[in-house]
Amino acid sequence: MKAVILVAYASRYGSTREVATRISEVLRKPGFQVECRPMSTVSSLADYRTVVCGAPFYYGRWPRQARRFLSRFGPELVHRDVAVFGTGRVGDEQTEQQARAQLDQLLTRYDWLHPFTTAMFGGRWDPESLTGVHRLFLHLPASPLRGLPAADLRDWNAIEDWAARIARMVKSGAAQPESHESGPGHTRSGVPLSLIAEYAADQQRPEPRAAQPESHSKRPESHGKRLESHGNKE
């Protein structure tokens, strides 16, 4: 396994891609070899010791591309040092807390995943860029996004600080989940492989056709005012 860092992202409108690109640039400064790629193009994690995963939250949920990535690579991710970030709508203390709660909830669902640090960042919101179900939801009378003006809520200083922290932790060897006694059928973090298999199987079930809001979550280490808004330019 090479000492290469992978920054894998899901992005529909471009905002999360730009955040992932900035994180990659910061990680390269200390001399790390970094690859920044859409999750859908990743075919193997064999070359990566550290994986940074990022995706926007759409109505409380990560996009399908991100969920498929976790499903496909779950058995390998538990043997990697993983950092996770989300993007969404963060404009004040209340929305920031809600966004953080969504990331917490997400990671609670994937309780076999043990990131060494997580972060929630503001995103870029442009109602004119929305397509498909996102545009449809925007125009519903009860939509919380109805009437919101375009805005770029990304705090680049916070994003760069978090990336620099990842670099320091990787360099010092601190970028590791809490270790547990592991035996046959368990990962190095003590997670039963059967649990990951059950999760992967569950993800193969067809989703209901009706569009539903997505839900955020969190976990270890949190950082700053950060998030990408529903339907933002992800």
Spell out the domains of the chain, with CATH numbers in brackets: 4-203 (3.40.50.360)
> pLDDT tens digit string along 115-156?
999 999 987 766 556 555 555 555 556 555 555 656 677 899
Which range has the top average pLDDT, 76-90, 91-105, 219-233? 76-90
What are residue 13's phi and psi, to 5 degrees? -110, 0
At 216 the pLDDT is 43
Percent of the chain clearing pLDDT 70 (strictly above)? 59
Report d(CA 207, CA 164) in Å as an integer. Answer: 38
C-alpha 25 chain-centroid distance: 18
Residue 148: C-alpha distances to residues 60, 96, 117, 212 (Å):
18, 16, 31, 20
**DSSP assignment, residue 150?**
P
pLDDT digits (tens, 9 = 90+) for 171-224: 998 887 644 344 434 444 444 444 444 544 454 454 444 444 444 444 455 555
Burial class (CB in 10 A: 0-12, 13-18, 19+), 91: middle
Q: Look at residue 183 in the predicted model and tell me its pLDDT.
A: 41
> Phi/psi class of residue 197: alpha, beta or left (left: φ > 0; alpha: ψ in -120 to 50)?
alpha
Average of per-residue pLDDT values in the chain: 75
Percentage of the chain beyond pLDDT 90 is 41
